[in-house]
Structures are given as structure tokens and as C-alpha cells.
Structure 1
Amino acid sequence: MITNFLLEHSALVPVAILLVALVCAVLGHLFAGRRRVLWTLAAVALVPVFALTLVPTGRTIDEILCTVQFSLPTLGSVELLANVALFLPPVYFAALASRRPVTMFAAGSALSAVIEALQAFVPAIGRACDTNDWMMNTIGAIFGALLAAGTARLAQPGRSARTMSS
């Protein structure tokens, strides 16, 4: 249903990504410092990642297949932009929980590469590897890590008091 709506209104995909980022930022700010909650949110955010990338499609691909291409998305490329939104939340929450945005960015990019490799080398799941998916997932991981770094900076105790006294 959401996919069909976004396909019909592809110009709204960037707005959807901004909404995902906004919801993450609000939850991250609410639960800043509560690492167990943040790790739980990161785990929950991984559910759609695995569901949309590794759940078998019901068809089998007969050969190892990986499309190698690197193209920047346009507003009409719903699937590419959806990959950005897919990796933003888990990296964001993991970066806040671990307090290591660079490490979680790298972990998000590596997870995406592993998923693409599994899609290429496990034909039974019926999915095909695509370097554009990895690249867009990595961009989502970058956004998640940057947003987490910003949220962590804003959530530092005493930050508003220091800012006001300057």
C-alpha cells in the first residue's frame, strides 16, 4: 500500500525520507541516554531491513547475478530512495546507543554489502544483488550517523546552559 502510493506520487519520496529522519530524531531525543531503549529501537528498525532484503520472494534465480552500476537517484527512483530510508533508522539508533556514529556508519554499510552478497550467492531467496542498493543503503547509513551525531550533541547535559551564558 505505501509502496504503491509512493510509486504513484514519487515526488513525495524525499518527504517520506525527511519524515523518517524526523521521527528518528524525536525518538532519539526522547530516549537519549537510555541505551537499552535505543538498542531495542535499532533492533526493531532492522526488522524491515531483513524482511525487505532477505525474505524469499518465491522465485529462484538460476545464476549468480549482481548488477554493477552506480547512478544517483532522481525524484522518480522510488526504490533507490527507499533504500536510503531503510538504513537510516537502524544506524541512527545504534549510533546513539553506542555513541560511535562512525563505527555504526561502517557497520551499516558492511551489513548492506553482506545482504547484497547473500542476494547474489543464495539463489533460493530469489533476489538479485545491485550495487546501487548498497550505495543508497550506505547513503542512508551516512544520514543516520550524522543525525545521531547531531542529536547526541544537542542532548549533552548542560549544553543549553552553556549556550545561553555565551
Structure 2
Amino acid sequence: MDRLDTIIASLLNCSARNLCDCLNHPDEIQKVEKYLKGKTLQTTYKNQLGEYKDFQYDGITKESARKQMAYNGFKNVTVDQHFYVRHRICLRYANNPCVIEKHRNGHERFYPLELVKVKQGDKSDIYLGQKFPKSTPLLDENNSKYNDNYYDSYRLW
């Protein structure tokens, strides 16, 4: 799956480098909000435990990763600096905004667009018809629920 910055750039008909200029317009931000609303995102880098992080999209910052303060401003560290020090990732497009993940306690986490992708198999990408077929073998009238051969064919072990 493509990174989020390339997906948004193709949605707005601009390059990933010029994305910071495109996202200054309210109409363009609404397009992005409409596309990402309800989607599950995933980081493209692994944390210290070797896992990718999944999170819900909660918004996009007005500031770039170079200017947005991490840790709610407590340590006077920007998002760009955090990713270099903590993960040894030098952002290619540090002037682009970040994706916001909001926690219940009011704390926000910021992820640069180039380090996030839309999670594959996201529920919003699956049509209900594909997820719930019209007929299933268990509901067919031709299959008797007391037929042992029928149940043996569906055993997974």
C-alpha cells in the first residue's frame, strides 16, 4: 500500500513535495478529511517492540512536522526532531503536516504523512456485499443441520 502523502498528493493533484502548499486551502483540507474519516492508519516504521502501530484518523495539523511541537510542548521538541532522535528517521518532507491521533485523556500524538499508510483490510475499504454474502452454506435449505458429512467438510482442525 502507498504512503499517505502520495495518496493525498494524488487526491489533490499535486506532488508530495508541494503538499504543504496544497493543504493551506480549506477546500483541499475538506477533501482529505472526507477521504480519511473513519479509516484505520498504520505506521510504516516499527516501534521498539518490532511492531507497526495501528490508529484511527482524528485530524490533520495546521503546522508542519518541522514546527509542530511533540509531547504537548513539554520538552520543547518538534515532531521532526522526535522522529530523528527516537527512531533515527530523517523526514524527507518535514514541511508537510502531520496526522493526529487523539487519546481519551486529551493527549495527542502526531505522525508525519510520509510515515503513515492506510491499513490494508480496513473495514471502510470493504463493501458490505463482499463481507456479508447473500447466502452462506450454513443457511442453505438443502443442507441438513444433522448431516455429519456437512459439518465435517467445514471443520478447520
Q: TM-score range by the shorter chain?
A: under 0.3
Give the alignment's TM-score, normalised by structure 1.
Answer: 0.26
TM score, norm. by length of structure 2: 0.27
RCO greater where, 1 or 2, for CA within 8 Å and sep 6 or more?
A: 1
Higher helix share: 1
Greater strand proportion? 2
